[in-house]
A and B are shown apart, each in its own frame.
Chain A
Amino acid sequence: MSSSSSTRAASPPRPVPAVTPRVSPSGRPRRTGRRTALTASGFLAPFAVLFLTMMVVPIGYAIYQSFFTVRRAGLFGGARSTEFAGLSNYGAAFSDHDFTASIVRVVLLGCVQVPVMLGLALLLALLLDSRSARLRKTYRLTFFLPYALPGAIAAVMWSFLLAKDLSPFTGPLSHIGIDVDFLSPSWVPFSIGNMITWGWTGYNMLIIYSALQTIPAEVTEAAALDGCTGWRLAWAVKIPLVRPALVLTTVFSIIGTAQMYTEPAVLVGARVPGVSPKFTPIMNTTLSMDLGDQNLAAAESVVLALITLVLSFGFLKYNQRKGAMA
């Protein structure tokens, strides 16, 4: 934690209480454990209530629902009964080819997009941190700009930018003999990867750059005196020192990839033929919901939450262990 950074900002009015140490007259311990717990829970309660009702209970309800199914007695909406279904909803989810294919698709997309984006973010952060960079502030602000545009609106923008008849890119490309339709089925995964890269590279770069800035000057100077400069300095000194930032951005990116929804959903809304309405797992789940199969949707949400948790938590743990050994 950078305690220094929080004091750097405009200092708020600080009340200066009289610091006169006094011992309570009775001489008993000032605060009993129970009182502490009571006070603490008082401060925790408002958050806890909302956290429970808005996050824990819904997940619990989804898990519960995923084990049941609704049976209709007659063909035309006869009596409906809810029955325990065991794991059959999970079976249905995993045997749904569209659902499993969308998981594979998003994992593959993430395996390409996340390293590209973070590699670019790391490169830019190192370049900005290097002695040769000019206009640092301007670049920093520029790279961060896409974060000001909501993903959905950025996707609306890209849906025009990549459309053949409007795109400023297809014209120059066809001049040099490359004819591409960025919204054709074979290009769509790359186009979506590009949208996410455009939106989030600067954000990740800023996290890494901020970490680079906390490296004490003596460290890099000492390394430079030992003849370690340029790429070697970056590789052997700087990158290992900003490892926590790299781990954090990777975890956030894994989570971001798992929740991929907005960009392809907007393209579907824009009637781009190259994108299937079942492109990502979450799109599958919302479709199951729209079709009225809440139990299947619940099972699918549980599966997705578990996969993401395993991936991001696993990556964190793996790195903690590696960090401890290093």
Chain B
Amino acid sequence: MSVIRASRPTRPALRGTDIASKVAVNGVLGLMALYTLIPLWWLFVSATKASGYLYTGTPLWFSHFDLVANIRNAFSFEGGIFATWLANSALYSLVGATVSTLLSAMAGYALSKFSFRGRESVFNVILASVLIPAPMFALPLFLLMAKLDITNSYWSVLLPSCVSPFGVYLCRIFAAASVPDELLEAARLDGAGEQRTFFGIALPLMAPAMVTVFLFQFVGIWNNYLLPSLMLNTPSLQPVTVGLVQWRSEFANGVPLLLPITGAFLSLIPLLVAFIGLQRFWRKGLTAGAVK
């Protein structure tokens, strides 16, 4: 199915059009790859430039390579706050994604494997909340937490991160597809309690799907900006997104531009590794959302 030739089904494909089609297809893909990579390349190159050389030389090529000193600066500035930000991001994402994945699996299992009155209405409420963007919850949540005086704490970011309606949606689909009813029935007949049936049989079957839910929630929390920026004032509680934006906005107060640049580059690495290592799970999750 070459893309260029269209109209007539002339039997033997003409060599010329075949080559033209290859060039055109790969040309467009290559251009898009350039558009994607140039900003990241610029970020890397800039992070390696010695302070004072950011504005000199070509923006897209190295000059005065000094990456190590920049990394050292990023980690030592303001008493090593950058490492704290990274650790906070890891904490929020790991705990939030773990708890929300487990809760989603339980809820998805309940909604898929038990029929009870009101099941569809419960599911519809959860589905409706997927259609409302997260900030619409973040703002009222902030109003409420401010009233209760529990903002500016780990909990104010962790607790909301433990809920993932989209995770429940995915888990319900996964549970329906990968946990056979007969297996559950057999386990019950053999006298396994409901908890054992879930943790011993359903959960292992849902495990690959749960990895997907975990990854999505992990990245969602890692990338979150509005919620932590609303909730947290103390820098030592903030995740790396809020911290770096703070550095970016303080260049007038003496934060050198190389700091947010190096910091942005460094904060890209953990997720990049996770991505390349766990590629197949990403695709699986995306397919699951797309079909149906």
Contacts and interface: CB of A to CB of B under 8 A. Distances in A.
Interface of A: 1-3, 5-15, 17-22, 24, 30-31, 33, 36-37, 39-44, 46-48, 50-51, 53-55, 57-59, 61-62, 65, 120, 123-124, 126-128, 130-135, 139, 141-153, 155-161, 165-168, 171, 198, 201-203, 206-208, 210-211, 213-214, 220, 224, 226-227, 229-234, 242, 244-245, 248-249, 251, 255-256, 258-259, 261-262, 265-266, 269-271, 282, 285-286, 289, 294, 297-298, 301, 304-305, 308-309, 312-313, 316
Given A142-B33, A230-B4, A132 B140 contact: no
A40 B114 contact: yes
B129 A43 contact: no
A40 B116 contact: yes
Nearest to A8: B284
Contact of B135 (A50, A127, A134, A282): A282
A5 B42 CA distance: 37
B260 to A, nearest CB: 5
A204 to B, nearest CB: 9
Interface in B23-71: 24-26, 28-29, 32-33, 35-40, 42-43, 46, 54-55, 58-60
B268 A153 contact: yes
| Interface size classification for chain B | 35 or more
A132 B22 contact: yes
Contacts of B29: 124, 127-128, 133, 135, 139
19 contacts: A12-B207, A13-B204, A17-B183, A40-B111, A46-B103, A47-B107, A51-B129, A51-B163, A55-B137, A58-B141, A59-B136, A126-B3, A132-B2, A139-B29, A150-B225, A153-B267, A168-B60, A198-B35, A198-B39
Given A153-B268, A210-B287, A251-B131, A47 B36 contact: no
A118 B154 CA distance: 37
Contact of A54 (B58, B115, B160): B160
A14 B187 contact: no
Contacts of A46: 103, 106-107
A133 B183 CA distance: 43
B234 interface: no
A233 B1 contact: yes
Main secondary structure of the interface of B (DSSP, over half): helix
Nearest to A19: B186
A123 B28 contact: yes
Given A2-B288, A210-B283, A262-B225, A269 B248 contact: yes
Given A40-B116, A44-B111, A248-B290, A148 B275 contact: yes
Contacts, number: 380
A6 B59 contact: no
B116 A33 contact: yes
A224 B288 CA distance: 28
Main secondary structure of the interface of A (DSSP, over half): helix
A128 B225 CA distance: 33
Interface in B199-218: 200-201, 204-205, 207-209, 211
A9 B131 contact: no
Interface in B243-286: 244-246, 248-249, 251-252, 257, 260-261, 264, 267-268, 271-272, 274-276, 279-284, 286
B143 A37 contact: no
Interface in B1-18: 1-9, 18
Contacts of A131: 1-2
B103 A308 contact: no
A149 B263 CA distance: 12
B46 A44 contact: no
B291 A47 contact: no
B143 A289 contact: yes
A202 B275 CA distance: 14
Please provide the 9 A-B residue pairs with the shortest distance between their CB atoms, ordered closest to farther.
Answer: A227-B9, A62-B140, A269-B249, A259-B133, A168-B59, A43-B110, A40-B114, A9-B208, A58-B140
A165 B111 CA distance: 56
Contact of B163 (A21, A54, A211): A54
B7 to A, nearest CB: 8
A214 B194 contact: no
B90 interface: no
B290 A132 contact: no
A157 B247 CA distance: 12
A7 B184 CA distance: 18
B75 interface: no
Contacts of B36: 142-143, 145-146, 198, 202
Contact of A50 (B39, B54, B103, B284): B103
A17 B190 contact: yes
B8 A130 contact: no
Contacts of B144: 57-58, 61-62
B110 A133 contact: no
A131 to B, nearest CB: 5
Contact of A244 (B163, B211, B290): B290
B92 interface: no
B288 to A, nearest CB: 6
A301 B178 CA distance: 39
